[in-house]
């Protein structure tokens, strides 16, 4: 924008029980959660959050396929009982098996293994359940991993086990409610930290999944459970200690235990699809059942055609939120006296809309042909489906595509699962646009440093388009535009290298990176420009658009962090640049926040640069086109301010007084920090408690893709 006028671009805190430790959010490419949480931002270096030793470990971690090193979400991700989340056999060797003997050999071994099942394996005798030991990942190779006529057993104390991407089927012995043959797909008796994900389990003798005898820290996600009398039984204990997450499962043509959940301390069921198809031989007797003293939270699930879709015992607690019931009859219950609880006390997750669940799960559950390429990241990572596809880009032709845009173009419209565009080191001179109909896209540099991979172009607002149809305008000048929800940019540099000194005759706004969507993550990036470097908008004025920026570097001089989106700049370096003529003057932020929304939060960061002392404002209030309905907001807190920051850090814009909008600081440090005054508002402690990262992001917790 011009310095005078810009054209408008069209907690409640809870404490976990002592036996848990809440999982920490980590935002780093290919780095274990524990490693990222331990790091500290090293300003002015390219090692960012990690430091040299951690960076070396990160490189080692990325050497293994992502599916081999994937970690669980939900309760299986919680640190407890001496186990830090659930990551299976990632610390051991990866072996491929095609015979029962080899599968049993590695699954029952004492050391960790990632066991890739690459064939159909018939159990002998029928009903055999392999006794899996701790620290194992058992995963199907594409859709070829099938276990026929038996399954797996996890005994007392077995922990840190992942079972993914398998078809487990056909132990059925001809008796529907079979009391003689206890042949389950997966049975757990006293196990903990288990993740059952993306399997197709069907037509067994007794049940599909049994979680028994205080099995806890269990997550069951993205599975297809079908053709069975008993789908999923939980309990066989008088203790009320188990914690279980069940999400994004398609349960169809099953009569009972969908699941039956007995004496579970915390049962979190969300985004499941329970379907009873009319005219088939199998008729449901009930759906989700909160039994005994279970405390169940049931959210955004979809019930189609079930009899008694939701049932609870008088002694149990069941809280319902946002569920959809279509063609159901009979009991639909909730209530109880158990203590209210919030899953986000223990782990992060994001709900899909209940109305979207049937289509989402019909396409996204069960074994995935692409799961062997990249890890799945279900709702806690903010994705819509769990199987990710990786597309590689290399300018030298060694990848699938030579340009980033070509890879974006290859993403199918309305993709339900994450696509990672892995960009090899190099310089890519191109304009990249991720359209709104391609969500869940991650553009990620594959080099060791964010400096290794650069996307660069030099358009500006006042430049005429090649087809002569007018000028680009501010948003149209962007080198990279992300218009799709739940998308991410990681570990690379995005630059607009427009040369202002040679083009003072035109509007000089030159955007490096533009976002116009919700749930956007920018992590470990460098965003370079001069005027209007980083523009963050929403898809429409009445739409929410949240952006989380972490461990990054943002450079510029005039209004270079701006827009109407809800933005958190966290643990990052904001670098002030001189103007094209060598002078020092500028504004860090220019929010145009809609009223009643959050604006720009700069948190735990640094504002610095090789510019004159007292030459930069922290921000000014942008009312696009004189819009009186907006209420611009910038809060800068817990941030180191260099001497470049003015002692009166806020400035009026376009005839509007900044004092009528929302600008404040809290607990900043450095030569540019200052005491409270009429020209320098400071939050009180109580006000600051309502202006934290979680307040900005609401029900969204950003996580690594």
User: 36: part of which helix (H) or strand (E)?
Assistant: helix 33-38
Q: Which two tokens stand for residue 376?
A: 């799945």
pLDDT at 56 (0 to 100)? 29
**pLDDT confidence of 66, banded at 50, 70, 90?**
low
Residues 662-673 have pLDDT tens digits of 999 999 999 999
Given a cut of 50, whether residue 402 has pLDDT beyond it is yes
Residue 279 has pLDDT above 90, yes or no: no
Mean of the pLDDT values across residues 560-585? 97
Q: Tell me the three-class secondary structure of 193-223, residue by residue.
A: EEEEECCEEECCCCEEEEEECCCEEEEEECC
Q: What does the pLDDT read at residue 20?
A: 54
371 pLDDT more than 70:
no
Beta-carbon neighbour count of residue 464 at 10 Å? 11
What is the rounded average pLDDT of the residues 480-490?
97
Per the prediction, the chain carries an average pLDDT of 88
Contact 515, 539 (CB under 8 A): no
pLDDT recorded at residue 661: 98
pLDDT by residue (tens digit) across 101-116? Answer: 999 999 999 999 999 9
How far apart, in whole angstroms, are the C-alpha atoms of residue 130 and residue 123?
9
Find the helix or strand (DSSP H, E) in which 54 lies.
Answer: helix 52-61
For the ranges 138-142, 387-391, 488-492, which has the lowest average pLDDT? Answer: 387-391
Confirm whether 690 is a catalytic residue: no
Q: How far is Cα 330 from Cα 574, in angstroms, rounded to an integer? A: 59
Q: pLDDT for 521-571, tens place per residue?
A: 999 999 999 999 999 999 999 999 999 999 999 999 999 999 999 999 999
Catalytic residue among 485, 523, 559, 631: 559
Q: Give the span between the Cα atoms of 31 and 523, in whole angstroms.
A: 13
**pLDDT, tens digit, for every residue of 415-430?**
988 999 999 999 999 9
Q: For residues 392-397, give the mean pLDDT.
A: 93
For the beta carbon of residue 311, count every other beta carbon within 10 angstroms.
19
The CA angle 421-427-431, to the nearest 5 degrees, is 65
Q: What is the pTM of this model?
A: 0.52
Contacts of 386 (CB under 8 A, 6+ apart): 197, 198, 221, 222, 248, 364, 368, 376, 377, 378, 417
**Is residue 4 over pLDDT 60?**
no
**CA 129 and chain centroid, separation:** 34
Contact between 91 and 112 under an 8 Å Cβ cutoff? The reply is yes
Question: Any idea which of 212-226, 404-418, 594-608 has the lowest mean pLDDT?
Answer: 404-418
Give residue-wise pLDDT tens across range 8-38.
333 332 333 335 544 433 332 222 222 222 2
Structure tokens at 199: 């399997």
d(CA 515, CA 535): 7
E strands present in 4-145: 20-21, 79-80, 83-84, 93-97, 113-117, 120-122, 129-131, 136-140
Pairing between β-strand 295-299 and β-strand 317-321 as defined by DSSP bridges = parallel
Q: Which of 532, 570, 631, 661 is catalytic?
A: 532
447-457 tens-digit pLDDT: 888 999 999 99
CA 270 to chain centre: 16
Q: Which residue has the tokens 């976990």?
A: 16
pLDDT number for residue 383: 32
- Residue range 610-636: average pLDDT? 97
Annotated active-site residue 356? The verdict is: no
How confident is the model over 643-652, as pLDDT tens digits?
A: 999 999 999 9
> Which one is predicted more confidently, 153 or 370?
153
Report the C-alpha gap between 564 and 692 in whole angstroms: 18
Among residues 313, 199, 309, the alpha carbon closest in space to that of 264 is found at 313
385 confidence band (pLDDT: 50, 70, 90) = very low
Spatial distance between the Cα atoms of 288 and 374, rounded to a whole number of angstroms: 32
Does 475 have pLDDT greater than 50?
A: yes
Q: For 44-62, what is the mean pLDDT?
A: 29
The rounded distance, in Å, linking the Cα atoms of 271 and 699 is 15
Task: Flag whether pLDDT at 302 surpasses 80.
Answer: yes
Average pLDDT over residues 187-207: 96
Looking at residue 701, its pLDDT comes to: 87
pLDDT value, residue 180: 83
Cα Rg, the chain, nearest whole Å = 27
Per-residue model confidence as pLDDT tens digits over 228-274 = 999 999 999 999 999 999 999 999 999 999 999 999 999 999 999 99
pLDDT at 175 > cutoff 90: no
Q: Reduce the DSSP state of residue 696 to 3 states and report it.
A: helix
Residue-wise pLDDT for 320-364, tens only, equals 999 999 999 999 999 999 999 999 999 989 899 999 999 999 988
């Amino acid at each position: 924008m011009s310095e005078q006028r810009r054209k408008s671009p069209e907690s409640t805190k809870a404490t976990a029980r002592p036996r848990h430790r809440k999982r920490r959010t980590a935002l780093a490419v290919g780095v274990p959660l524990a490693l990222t949480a331990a790091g500290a931002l090293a300003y002015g270096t390219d090692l960012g959050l990690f430091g040299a030793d951690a960076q070396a470990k990160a490189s080692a971690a990325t050497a293994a396929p992502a599916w081999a090193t994937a970690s669980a979400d939900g309760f299986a991700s919680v640190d407890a009982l001496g186990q830090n989340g659930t990551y299976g056999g990632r610390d051991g060797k990866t072996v491929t098996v095609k015979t029962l003997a080899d599968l049993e050999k590695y699954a029952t071994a004492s050391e960790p293994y990632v066991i890739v099942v690459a064939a159909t394996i018939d159990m002998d005798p029928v009903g055999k359940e392999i006794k899996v030991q701790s620290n194992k990942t058992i995963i199907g190779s594409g859709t070829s991993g099938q276990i026929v006529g038996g399954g797996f057993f996890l005994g007392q104390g077995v922990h840190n086990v992942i079972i993914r991407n398998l078809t487990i089927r056909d132990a059925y012995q001809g008796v529907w409610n079979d009391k003689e043959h206890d042949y389950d797909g997966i049975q757990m008796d006293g196990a903990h930290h288990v993740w059952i994900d993306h399997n197709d389990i069907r037509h067994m003798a007794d049940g599909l999944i049994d979680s028994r005898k205080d099995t806890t820290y269990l997550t069951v996600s993205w599975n297809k459970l079908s053709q069975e009398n008993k789908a999923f039984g939980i309990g066989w204990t008088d203790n009320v200690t188990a914690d279980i997450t069940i999400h994004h499962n398609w349960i169809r043509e099953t009569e009972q235990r969908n699941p039956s959940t007995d004496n579970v301390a915390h049962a979190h069921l969300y985004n499941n699809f329970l379907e009873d198809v009319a005219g088939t031989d199998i008729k449901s007797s009930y759906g989700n059942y909160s039994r005994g003293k279970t405390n169940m939270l049931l959210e955004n699930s979809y019930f189609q055609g079930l009899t008694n879709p939701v049932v609870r015992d008088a002694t149990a607690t069941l809280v319902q939120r946002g569920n959809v019931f279509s063609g159901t009859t009979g009991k639909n219950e909730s209530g109880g006296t158990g203590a209210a609880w919030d899953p986000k006390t223990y782990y992060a997750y994001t709900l899909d809309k209940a109305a979207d669940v049937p289509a989402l799960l019909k396409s996204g559950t069960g074994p995935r042909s692409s799961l062997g390429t990249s890890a799945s990241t279900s709702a806690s990572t903010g994705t819509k489906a769990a199987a990710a596809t990786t597309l590689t880009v290399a300018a030298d032709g060694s990848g699938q595509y030579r340009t980033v845009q070509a890879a974006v173009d290859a993403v199918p419209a309305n993709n339900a699962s994450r696509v990672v565009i892995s960009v090899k080191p190099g310089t890519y001179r191109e304009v990249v646009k991720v359209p709104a109909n391609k969500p869940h896209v991650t553009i990620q540099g594959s080099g060791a440093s964010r400096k290794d991979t650069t996307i660069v172009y030099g358009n500006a607002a006042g430049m005429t388009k090649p087809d002569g149809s007018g000028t680009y305008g501010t948003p149209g000048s962007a080198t990279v535009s992300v218009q799709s929800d739940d998308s991410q940019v990681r570990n690379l540099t995005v630059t607009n290298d427009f040369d202002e000194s040679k083009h003072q005759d035109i509007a000089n706004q030159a955007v490096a990176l533009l976002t116009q969507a919700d749930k956007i993550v920018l992590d470990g990036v460098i965003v370079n420009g001069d005027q209007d470097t980083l523009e963050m908008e929403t898809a429409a004025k009445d739409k929410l658009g949240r952006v989380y920026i972490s461990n990054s570097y943002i450079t510029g001089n005039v209004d270079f962090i701006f827009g109407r989106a809800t933005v958190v700049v966290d643990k990052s370096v904001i670098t002030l640049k001189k103007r094209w003529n060598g002078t020092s003057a500028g504004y860090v932020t220019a929010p145009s926040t809609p009223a009643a929304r959050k604006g720009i939060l700069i948190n735990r960061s640094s504002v610095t640069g090789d510019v004159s002392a007292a030459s930069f404002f922290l921000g000014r209030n942008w009312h696009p086109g004189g819009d009186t309905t907006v209420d611009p907001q910038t809060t800068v807190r817990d941030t180191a301010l260099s001497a470049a920051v003015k002692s009166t850090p806020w400035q009026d814009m376009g005839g509007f007084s900044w004092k009528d909008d929302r600008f404040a600081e809290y607990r900043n440090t450095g030569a540019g920090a200052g005491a409270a005054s009429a020209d320098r508002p400071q939050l009180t402690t109580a006000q600051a408690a309502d202006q934290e990262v979680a307040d900005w992001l609401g029900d969204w917790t950003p996580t690594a893709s």
